[in-house]
Amino acid sequence: MQKDLLKLLDLSTEDILLILDTADRLKAERKAGKPHDFPPGKTLAMIFSKSSTRTRVSFETGIYQLGGQGVFLSNADSQLGRGEPVKDTARVLSRYCDCIMIRTYEQAEVEELAQYSSVPVINGLTDFAHPCQVLSDIMTIREYKGRLHGLKACFIGDGNNVANSMIVGCLKCGMDVSIASPEGYRPDKRVLDFASGVAGCKFELTDSPAAAAVGADVIFTDVWASMGQESEAEKRRIAFKGFHVDDGIMALANPECMIQHCLPAHKGEEISEKVFEEHAQEIFDEAENRLHAQKAIMYLLMSR
C-alpha cells in the first residue's frame, strides 16, 4: 500500500485485494464481537466541503470501532472555508492527527493535501474519483458472487466519479466492463486511456444501455445530476432519457445480475422503483460495506 488513497489508478491489483481481504476480516470480527488489533488513540480528521450521510457516518463510526476518534471539519468549521491554503492546513493537521479524510470537489485539492501532509490522506470523494465507494462495491460483488475475475460489470448513466472509479477498480480485478453514457457525459479521458491499455479484459463504451447490459453480472448506476449539478437537472433529464435501469434492461443481463447504486437514488429516473426494491438487499449491503472497506483502508494506512 502507498501512503495515501487518492484514486484507484494509484493502486495495484494486489493493493485492492489486500483492502478487500482486510475488510472481510474486520467485518467478520465486528459481527463476532471480537476486538480489532488496531493501535489505540488514533485520530482521523474529516474535512467536508461537500455534505454527506454515508461518508460521514461510516468514517466516524469506523474510526470509533477501530478504537480511535474522528474530528469533523466542515468549511464553516475550518480555516479552509476562509481561504487558508490547502498546504498550510495539511501541515497543521498532520501535527494533530494520524490521518486525514477529505470529501471535496477538485481532485487537485486532495493531491495537494497529500503532497504536504506527513500523515495518510484518504479521498472520501472528488468530482473525479470515489475510490472508497467502488472498493465497497467490489467487496459486495465478491461477497455475492464468490469471485471477481471473469465477471462482467456494466455502468449505465453519467460518466462521473463513480463511473471513473468503477472502470478502474473492476478492470484491475479482472472484470470485463461496459459503460453506457450519452455523448458529452462520458467518463474522464484519463480513465478511458487507462481502460484502453488493460490486457486480458474487455472494455466497451457505448451510448446504448441495452447493448451495455447484455450478459452483465452486475449493473451499476447513479443519479443523473450529482451534488453541485442541481442547476443542470432539467438539461440532464433530457440528455439521459432512456438511460434507465428497468425490467427491460435487467432482461438483457444474466439471470442472477446484481444492482449496485451508491445512493441516494432518484427512483423513477436512473432506476425504476421496482428494480431498486427487488435488489434492495444488495444495495444496502453495499452501503453497509462502506463502513467495512473504509475501516480496512484506515487500518492499513494507520497501523504502520
CA 79 – CA 94 distance, rounded (Å)? 15
222 part of the active site:
yes
Residue from 133, 142, 170, 217 carrying the catalytic annotation = 133
Give the number of other Cβ atoms within 10 Å of residue 77's Cβ. 12
| Placement of cell 467518463 in the chain | 187
Beta bridge partners of 260: 220
Residue from 4, 290, 292, 294 carrying the catalytic annotation = 290
103 part of the active site:
yes
Residue from 262, 279, 292, 294 carrying the catalytic annotation = 262
Q: State the burial class of residue 289 (Cβ atoms within 10 Å of its Cβ: 0-12, 13-18, 19+).
A: buried
290 part of the active site:
yes
Residue from 222, 244, 260, 292 carrying the catalytic annotation = 222
Residue from 56, 130, 244, 279 carrying the catalytic annotation = 130
Note whether 110 and 87 are within 8 A (CB). no
Give the number of other Cβ atoms within 10 Å of residue 151's Cβ. 20
Note whether 245 and 219 are within 8 A (CB). yes
Residue from 103, 142, 236, 292 carrying the catalytic annotation = 103
247 part of the active site:
no
Active site residues: 103, 130, 133, 222, 262, 290
